[in-house]
Structure 1
């Protein structure tokens, strides 16, 4: 139990939630999915167990992803999910409410920020801070953002891609687009329907993305068997899908991300742009692991592009590490306590 004076960092992601406890590191990583019995309104499963139910539930059970495009789409379910994760990591009996810092996409509105703060407080949090994802990603990737040097971070999660140029602990130029891992999956589902007359689910699309998906031509073509429902006969069907097909399927969303990176570079002050061309672009988040995406951005910008070590947990790690520097980062944060806002 970590109840006494615990300080927690939460990466409240569209696809997964990661919890960092000061002094312990990342203690939880679970999918952002909740399974609820509609008849009794009881939570049946949260996280990995609930994810297994996606697309496979009977009529009375619904598996919900309460966050969409990086923001809360179902407030009540998000609050219940957060309560579950806080209790799981801090214990049910707590003498003090933990201090919590939650990361949000850089483009969220004040209303969306308030929803995150309220949901976290209602779920059992004490004083709640918000930190923008690119800042947390940069800290988690090991970049020193306090110096007057330009750092460019591209954080691609499940719901949003956040691109930002950071200097002196703050964001100079940023762009947040709702094109990320979920849009990759949607594009694969649409492609399979159009090219092969096969209907596949989200989990199958994700498997294709991970195993044979690519954003840049592969030297050696990869193949994978894919099962779905034939739209003509209505019967199950298995086909072989190649990485070349996935390259075509994913071309629209990956080019949208490359365009956003280009747009941010165009707005970057020349001194910082010079720093970035020397230091390179750092990519974080699960979406950055799509095969060849860093090569595509490097080709489009002419700037070396690297994937951060342990890219999936960078934001959570940075959110947790920022607990040590609240005095420095507080200017760029929003805090919530008894309904008050401060910047």
Structure 2
């Protein structure tokens, strides 16, 4: 079963051209990523209507390291989207790397509230992504900037979660060393799709390390497919290396960077999260 891909395509469209039809309520997903902060807005029928993102360095390895900067960015993106939609955005959900709720859930909650939202949900990232993918049996793997999060699902229920500190930051460090670039330049070079074919063999060892992490966590479990999300998975060809290394069919949607924020928005309600 391949994951649904229409959501991310529709979201890309409304980033450029928001849907301004009135809605009784709006649901916002706030994705505080290591490399990028994304806000996704859904209408009362949970259809994408607006979105915005900004590359930032306010989170590292899944932990908020620049609290004030994170609040400022989320508030600015919120205000930008409110101006585009002509309405106030009240409700928001956010997400955390799996297994880290005791470490950083309070900080993330405070960032979202500090930006002016009423927070209503705080799922783990791969579980949120599955609100879009609708995987019944398999592993949702969220490869972000700092960590790789894994949620294993059976009959649509999460039965196992894990998170390990390997992700896009490590990809950029490899590029930085191989090309004698500073880190920020390596990040920009990595994001340019025109460079992906050249970068794939350079990054193959670290991709295989991610695949080994996945293999270790799915070992002995009934996983019939791996479903990739997260900005790092935008690298063309990453799914082929992971599939070859794990021996498990591996899929990714059109733009894996936007699956998790859309899934986070789908977990949003009008009831405050405590």
TM-score normalized by the length of structure 2 = 0.78
Distance in 1 between residues matched to 2:176 and 2:216, nearest whole Å = 28
Whichever structure has more helix as a proportion of its residues is: 2
CA separation of 1:312/1:205 partners in 2, compared to 1, >3 Å: closer, same or farther? closer
**What corresponds to 1:106 in structure 2?**
98
- The question of whether the paired residues in 1 share the 8 Å contact of 2:40 and 2:51 is answered with yes
- The question of whether the paired residues in 2 share the 8 Å contact of 1:163 and 1:260 is answered with no
Given candidates 188, 195, 206, the residue that maps to 1:212 is 195
- The question of whether the paired residues in 2 share the 8 Å contact of 1:120 and 1:128 is answered with no
Distance in 1 between residues matched to 2:210 and 2:158, nearest whole Å = 19
**What corresponds to 2:153 in structure 1?**
166
**What corresponds to 1:202 in structure 2?**
184
2:142 aligned with 1:155, yes or no? yes
Question: Secondary structure in 1 aligned to 2:123?
Answer: strand
Distance in 2 between residues matched to 1:95 and 1:304, nearest whole Å = 43
Instruction: Select the structure of larger CA radius of gyration.
Output: 1
Question: Secondary structure in 2 aligned to 1:77?
Answer: helix
Q: Give deviations 1:136-181, integer Å, cap 9, x for gaps.
A: 112222x25xxxx422111112222212202355431222122212
Shift of 1:311: 1.7
Question: Secondary structure in 2 aligned to 1:154?
Answer: strand
Shift of 1:301: 2.1
Given candidates 308, 330, 335, the residue that maps to 2:253 is 308
Shift of 1:4: 7.5
Question: Secondary structure in 2 aligned to 1:10?
Answer: strand
Given candidates 42, 54, 68, the residue that maps to 1:31 is 54
CA separation of 1:125/1:288 partners in 2, compared to 1, >3 Å: closer, same or farther? same
Shift of 1:189: 0.5
- The question of whether the paired residues in 1 share the 8 Å contact of 2:151 and 2:160 is answered with yes
Distance in 2 between residues matched to 1:21 and 1:30, nearest whole Å = 12
2:244 aligned with 1:291, yes or no? no
Deviates more, 1:102-111 or 1:114-123: 102-111
Q: Which runs of 5+ in 2 are unaligned?
A: 1-19
Shift of 1:84: 1.5
Shift of 1:309: 3.2
TM-score normalized by the length of structure 1 = 0.64
Within 5 Å, give how 1:316-335 maps onto structure 2. 316-323=261-268
**What corresponds to 2:71 in structure 1?**
79
Q: Give deviations 1:197-256, integer Å, cap 9, x for gaps.
A: x3444234532564334xxxxxxxx5xxxxxxxxxxxxxxxxxxxx3xx45542342122
Distance in 2 between residues matched to 1:126 and 1:16, nearest whole Å = 22
Question: Secondary structure in 2 aligned to 1:250?
Answer: helix
Distance in 2 between residues matched to 1:84 and 1:206, nearest whole Å = 23
**What corresponds to 1:14 in structure 2?**
34
Distance in 1 between residues matched to 2:190 and 2:39, nearest whole Å = 28
CA separation of 1:90/1:186 partners in 2, compared to 1, >3 Å: closer, same or farther? same
- The question of whether the paired residues in 2 share the 8 Å contact of 1:134 and 1:153 is answered with yes
- The question of whether the paired residues in 2 share the 8 Å contact of 1:16 and 1:30 is answered with yes
